[in-house]
Amino acid sequence: EKTLPLLKDALDFVSRMASKRGTVLFVGTKRAAGQAIAEEAARCGMPYVSHRWLGGMLTNFRTIRQSINRLKELEAMDSDGSFERLVKKEVLELTRERDRLEQSLGGIKDMNSLPDAMFVIDTGHEDIAVAEARKLGIPVVAVIDTNHNPEVVDYPIPGNDDAIRSVRLYAQLVADAILEGKASVPQIKGNREEFVELDAEGKPIDTADKPAAPRKKVARKVARKTAAKADSKPAEAPAEGKTAAKADSKPAEAPAEGETGAKADSKPAEVPAEGETAAAEAPAAKADNETEGKEKA
């Protein structure tokens, strides 16, 4: 009576999380759950921890990422033949290190960030994982038996967490819900952050063949021309200066008027010339008078 409704709520939550492209971390490190957790998590493409939970795997994820990078480095060395150029003792040490990291971190080596939710088998055995998830605010879905407190998780599933068949059944149901949620997401080509145009029927429009609108280029050209015109306006200031120079050059014509005045003033200079003519005519008159006096005598 209690298991089925709570199981349905938990599966609905997991399905919604998967439909939003969220990550669900599977955790089950005891013998009865390790193999089933690893298989079902790999089937639905989710990370998992099936061997041993390392302290700080969530709260100190930055340090865990360094160990994951070391694991990937060792795997790359093994694949490109770098081990063949080393001494047998060094190869043995590196192989042991790789196997140890693979056993602890192999299930989360592709998890690039903290998970969005966590599915746990036996909260009593995985108390450290549950405590770290609660500290970070990560919702927890867990299969809980009667010997554990269901209030420590967000979506409890009452059930047997010790039997192998029971654990596999719950893991299969959660994996199926995740696959169902992934299938409900429309697969649209392109990046997730790109905007997709839809037609009147709501179907995506393929804009790959459409030429790009030249609005941006035109705007840039107009902006450049406007800026060039704005810069050319100060260059017209010298022309105004020339106009001012022309206006200032008008007083320079005054000397020409002075010259005209000088010419006008030069007319009185002709008076002495008339006086000289009168003086020249006076002796001539005297000579005529003397001639007339002689004739009378």
CATH number at residue 133: 3.40.50.10490
Phi (first) and psi of residue 122, to 5 degrees? 70, 90
Q: What angle do CA 33, 34, 37 make, to 5 degrees?
A: 80
Report if residue 288 sits inside a domain: no
- What pLDDT score does 257 carry? 42
Q: What angle do CA 170, 173, 174 make, to 5 degrees?
A: 90
141 close to 154: Cβ distance less than 8 angstroms: yes
**Alpha-carbon torsion (269, 271, 277, 280), positive or negative:** negative
Per-residue pLDDT of the chain (297 residues; tens, 9 = 90+): 678 999 999 999 999 999 999 999 999 999 889 999 999 999 999 999 998 899 889 999 999 999 999 999 999 988 888 888 888 899 899 999 999 999 989 999 989 899 999 999 999 999 999 999 999 999 999 999 888 888 999 999 999 988 999 999 999 999 999 999 999 876 544 444 444 556 655 556 655 445 544 454 444 544 455 544 545 554 444 444 444 444 444 444 444 444 444 343 444 444 444 444 444 454 444 555 555 555 553
Q: How far apart are the first and last CA of the chain?
A: 187
pTM for the full model?
A: 0.61
- What pLDDT score does 229 carry? 52
Report if residue 37 sits inside a domain: yes
Report if residue 165 sits inside a domain: yes
- Which range marks the domain in which residue 39 is found? 3-58+114-183
Q: How far apart are CA 71 and CA 38, in angstroms?
A: 18
- What pLDDT score does 206 carry? 58
- What pLDDT score does 253 carry? 46
C-alpha dist (Å) from residue 111 to 22, 64, 68, 106, 160: 11, 11, 10, 10, 29
Report if residue 278 sits inside a domain: no
β-sheet bridge partners, residue 141:
119, 155
**Alpha-carbon torsion (48, 54, 57, 62), positive or negative:** negative
Report if residue 157 sits inside a domain: yes
E strand or H helix at 192: none
Nearest to 110 by CA among 177, 25, 3: 25
Q: How far apart are CA 78 and CA 94, in angstroms?
A: 9
Domain total of the chain = 1
- What pLDDT score does 128 carry? 94
CA 128 to chain centre: 38
CA quadruple 66, 72, 74, 78: dihedral, nearest 10: 180
Report if residue 51 sits inside a domain: yes
166 close to 137: Cβ distance less than 8 angstroms: no
Q: How far apart are CA 118 and CA 131, in angstroms?
A: 12
Q: Is 122 helix (H, G, I), strand (E, B) or coil?
A: coil
Q: Is 49 helix (H, G, I), strand (E, B) or coil?
A: strand
128 close to 55: Cβ distance less than 8 angstroms: yes
Q: What angle do CA 222, 226, 229 make, to 5 degrees?
A: 140
Report if residue 78 sits inside a domain: no
Report if residue 83 sits inside a domain: no
